[in-house]
Structure 1
Amino acid sequence: MRLLVKYEGMNNSLFAASAADLTIERIRALAARPDQVESLTLEFKREYSKSMVKTIAAMANTYGGMILVGINDKVEPGVERVVGVDAQEEIDKIASGCREKFDPPWEPTFIPVPFNDGTGRSVVVIRIDANVAPRPLLIDLQAPIRLSGQNSIADRDRLLKLAREEPSAGVLPTGQHVMSPNLDRDREGNPTADFILRTGINLPMGEAGAWRPLSEKAVAALAQALNESAFPAALRIFGQASFTSATGFRQHGHNRSRTARLAYQAISRPPVEHPVEAVVTVALPEVYGASTAATATVTIDVISRIRRFADTLNVGQPGDKYHYPVPNLMELLDGILKTTVDPKVVAEIARITDIDPTLVAQPRELHLVADRQVKELLRTEILQEIPDAGASAGGVFRANPALDLRDTADREEQVDDWIRQLGLDAGLTGMEALVESYRSAPRFRM
């Protein structure tokens, strides 16, 4: 089975964007990012050269990627980075080179993105999808591959793996699918939490990551990166007054040579000692019996017991039940997503799996499992229940692959989409207006 990568999880979202969404403004913003450098999956080219064909083959034989033609690959003071090219002329040259060199014949996808300034110049986006390329893609009886942002040649073992790959049709790309969580239950079978949120990613494995055990230093570095991320602050906002202290992310529970479980636990009084808990689990594939396409998984769980905590404060006082404020949930989702793209967190995950940080995908799926109907958990405010809408105790929320979660506006757009879907699935109207009102309030802005 071939090693799959969710391309929109690369350091840019242009791979997954539709052609209509590819604008010169987005490309200029990408090229201007100080942290956006050439890598295993991304290259900038001023114009066509013969080496470009080899790079296309190398990306096709490895993780796929994208080449932007019309952008200076070297950043120099006073030199314009995005210079553009004659799109049709460049595409003709590249396509001709692919036809002449590739065995079997194959072409990547070409998308010209015009400047729209009357100059007639464009940036040509070349998308190389490793899931559809006829691997191994040969040039002069050799299979180029990508190693640390440079082209190399596959050795005998790598070539045999490429030749033995099974077709990828029907297989979920890496980074997309996350197993749905289950609520823990007590001895009587009753849920012990109000709800659990889960997101995560799947990752390819580097050569060393595929066999070496997790090191204590690597796990400790990941815990430190999580503690310095936006996650703890989001959990505190979400928890409101249900706790005054927390453990921070630390190893807790099931930790093994190839599994790291880092838990953040809010501290409160019995019987609800942890009204909020977050667990980040990194699981590497087992060494023995693992396929060549074995992947690592990173899951992020948030378990909330705040309603149960509030119930302990109202013993003997049948007052209003606690309902989760929508803006607190929005802050939590934003904090989770911001953490998944935090450069320090990404770097530590990449170090553990022995891959380039550009291959650490952005999460594209969110699960919610509640102990009751979602509409019973939310603070309704201006929300109205739709008659006979049915029950919903959670759901699966897919992300827009064209959004770059590192960008604040894109990340907020994704959070808003998920919250609106949550309201609709729960049979409630008014969530769109509620989200807009919170976003426009100065106190909400981050």
Structure 2
Amino acid sequence: MLVSPSLYDAPADQITYDMVRDFVLAAEQANLLTESLTLELKRERSGRNVVEAVQALSNADGGLVLVGVSEELTGDARLVGVSKREPDALVTQMRSLMPTALPEVIPVKVPNTDRLVVILRVDADAVPHPVVVNGEVRYRIPGQNAVADRQRIIDLVARDSAPYQNPQFEVDNRSQPNDPTRYPLWSEEEPREIATIRLQGGLTLPYRVLEQPWLGSAARKAALDTLIHSPIPTEVWGLAPQQEASPLGWRVNEATSTWFKMSAPAGGRVFTAGEVPVTAAAYLSLAGRELSLLLGLRYYDQSGKVVPIGLSDLYHAVLAELLTITGVCMAVAESMAAAEPSELHMFRGWIQPAKDYRVTSVLNINDYARDSTEHPPSGYFPRARSRGRTVDDLDGLTRDWITMLVLDLGLRDFEGALAEIALPDWGSGV
């Protein structure tokens, strides 16, 4: 379930030649270079060929144009590079021919040469439509660029004036829970429940998902397969289950064309190494281009006794949920052939003690000095965007969130303990 950085969304300052090389070779091996909707290779600039490639992606789902990468050669020989002056020349030409649709330009040095591979990253949602070059409108179809007909141009204009959707289908926004803090992930409350940690995140998918705006059997299988191999719920509150882990009985409980609910374990609870009973549930929904997963971990008392969540346990729970949400959404998007280019949503989350409890009674805060007398009924992780989809990115968000939460509770002198919590083995391998 490990989510690697992608050329489609990795921060520009983190993109290396090895990333470009691996991306190109993987696309070649998967036969994506001839039929791709989001990737075009150009050995060099010739006339308006690069500008028209950027234009076509801008009028579709966006994507990448790699300049200095051959369409005809294979393997490492593809990465021929261009001169160091080419990025400036490309920007000058694009600014002249389509000034309102400039892509992100990322030059990457070819090792042991004075040449560059130039990545042009096209965000189709950031430009006015249609993008016109020399009086024509081009858009991307599998493996090539085509001149738009009248209806396509009308659709492109409508895309900017209102939330675009396939006129064949009516998007049901009710597929998103109105209040994620109250949405019934579980069918009923249980008397031994202590608290629930809920996190929500997702992806904005490319426009082509609107051609088939539903979650089919492949999407359900992708979600369940990813959940079964995720760290939820076996790897939290004690770091490992009491016995050798076996695939958990994650299952779909309810489903429609645009959402489904899942739970695990199918018949009971997981007991962690700390003997804390835990269950999990999830709600996946598709509303237009918005794919979202609401994931909840619920824990219970231990033989009638409340076992407060320590700082380390909270860190592992939040990180596990962030990794799982990201992995499930990416797997589902891939099953729909709509994983790239996609944009990661802002995450948000909540710690919700059961009735008769406060957040200060379910979190173990006794080891730290506290400058507050307040005992809030719940805890909130504010909306925040992870820098990327990697484990390191999500680890950083986890630590930032926990820092904000405990500061809001009035705690101090906890920073050293938080910094000493190591990234778990399962975190680097999911």
Q: TM-score, normalized by length of structure 2?
A: 0.72
Change beyond 3 A, Cα 1:178–1:47: farther
SS in 1 for 2:265: strand
Tell me how far apart the structure 2 counterparts of residues 245 and 115 of structure 1 sit (CA, whole Å): 46
Change beyond 3 A, Cα 1:160–1:84: same
Deviation at 1:194, TM superposition (A): 1.1
- In structure 1, the partner of 2:322 is 337
- In structure 2, the partner of 1:52 is 50
Deviation at 1:135, TM superposition (A): 0.5
SS in 1 for 2:126: coil
- After superposition, give the CA deviation of every residue in 1:324-359 in whole Å (9 maximum; x if it has no partner): 1222332233333333444x86343343xx442214
- In structure 2, the partner of 1:357 is 339
Of 11, 14, 17, 1:28 maps to 17
Change beyond 3 A, Cα 1:30–1:305: same
Deviation at 1:14, TM superposition (A): 6.8
Change beyond 3 A, Cα 1:52–1:409: same
On the 8 A contact 1:333/1:415 being kept in 2, the answer is: yes
- In structure 2, the partner of 1:282 is 284
Tell me how far apart the structure 1 counterparts of residues 421 and 59 of structure 2 sit (CA, whole Å): 47
Change beyond 3 A, Cα 1:209–1:279: farther
Structure 1: which amino acid aligns with 2:138? P
- In structure 1, the partner of 2:297 is 303
- In structure 2, the partner of 1:317 is none
Identity of aligned residues (%): 20
Tell me how far apart the structure 1 counterparts of residues 234 and 22 of structure 2 sit (CA, whole Å): 26
On the 8 A contact 1:72/1:81 being kept in 2, the answer is: yes
Deviation at 1:373, TM superposition (A): 4.6
Deviation at 1:46, TM superposition (A): 4.5
- In structure 2, the partner of 1:197 is 198
- In structure 1, the partner of 2:332 is 348
On the 8 A contact 1:370/1:394 being kept in 2, the answer is: yes
- After superposition, give the CA deviation of every residue in 1:302-327 in whole Å (9 maximum; x if it has no partner): 13133xx22x434xxxxxx4111222
On the 8 A contact 1:202/1:296 being kept in 2, the answer is: yes
- In structure 2, the partner of 1:173 is none
The alignment status of 1:90 with 2:87, answered yes or no, reads yes
Tell me how far apart the structure 1 counterparts of residues 89 and 350 of structure 2 sit (CA, whole Å): 48
Structure 1: which amino acid aligns with 2:280? A
Change beyond 3 A, Cα 1:125–1:31: closer
The alignment status of 1:258 with 2:247, answered yes or no, reads no
Deviation at 1:374, TM superposition (A): 3.5
Of 391, 398, 408, 1:415 maps to 398
The alignment status of 1:393 with 2:378, answered yes or no, reads yes
SS in 1 for 2:295: strand
Change beyond 3 A, Cα 1:247–1:240: closer
- In structure 1, the partner of 2:220 is 219
On the 8 A contact 2:233/2:297 being kept in 1, the answer is: no
Deviation at 1:66, TM superposition (A): 4.1
User: What are the within-5 Å matches in structure 2 for residues 56-205 of structure 1?
Assistant: 56-70=54-68, 76-77=74-75, 79=77, 81=79, 83=81, 85-87=83-85, 89-97=86-94, 99-100=96-97, 102=98, 105-111=99-105, 113=107, 115=109, 124-148=118-142, 150-166=144-160, 181-183=180-182, 194-204=195-205
Tell me how far apart the structure 2 counterparts of residues 131 and 327 of structure 1 sit (CA, whole Å): 40
Of 2, 6, 10, 1:12 maps to 6
Structure 2: which amino acid aligns with 1:322? V
Change beyond 3 A, Cα 1:152–1:245: same
Tell me how far apart the structure 1 counterparts of residues 280 and 132 of structure 2 sit (CA, whole Å): 47
What are the ranges of 5 or more consecutive residues in structure 1 without an aligned counterpart? 1-8, 170-176, 286-293, 315-320
Tell me how far apart the structure 1 counterparts of residues 194 and 392 of structure 2 sit (CA, whole Å): 32
The CA RMSD measured in Å over matched residues stands at 4.6
Aligned residues: 395
What are the ranges of 5 or more consecutive residues in structure 2 without an aligned counterpart? 28-32, 164-175, 271-275
Tell me how far apart the structure 2 counterparts of residues 437 and 330 of structure 1 sit (CA, whole Å): 11
Structure 2: which amino acid aligns with 1:220? K
Change beyond 3 A, Cα 1:152–1:248: farther
Tell me how far apart the structure 1 counterparts of residues 247 and 120 of structure 2 sit (CA, whole Å): 48
- In structure 1, the partner of 2:169 is none
SS in 1 for 2:380: strand
Tell me how far apart the structure 1 counterparts of residues 403 and 108 of structure 2 sit (CA, whole Å): 34
Deviation at 1:396, TM superposition (A): 3.4
Structure 2: which amino acid aligns with 1:250? R
Q: TM-score, normalized by length of structure 1?
A: 0.70
Structure 2: which amino acid aligns with 1:52? V
On the 8 A contact 1:264/1:277 being kept in 2, the answer is: yes
Tell me how far apart the structure 2 counterparts of residues 240 and 80 of structure 1 sit (CA, whole Å): 48
Change beyond 3 A, Cα 1:125–1:178: farther
SS in 1 for 2:199: strand
SS in 2 for 1:357: coil
Change beyond 3 A, Cα 1:126–1:221: closer
- In structure 2, the partner of 1:326 is 311
Tell me how far apart the structure 1 counterparts of residues 179 and 7 of structure 2 sit (CA, whole Å): 25
Change beyond 3 A, Cα 1:436–1:95: same
Deviation at 1:53, TM superposition (A): 0.8
On the 8 A contact 1:374/1:426 being kept in 2, the answer is: no
Change beyond 3 A, Cα 1:106–1:226: same
On the 8 A contact 2:17/2:110 being kept in 1, the answer is: no
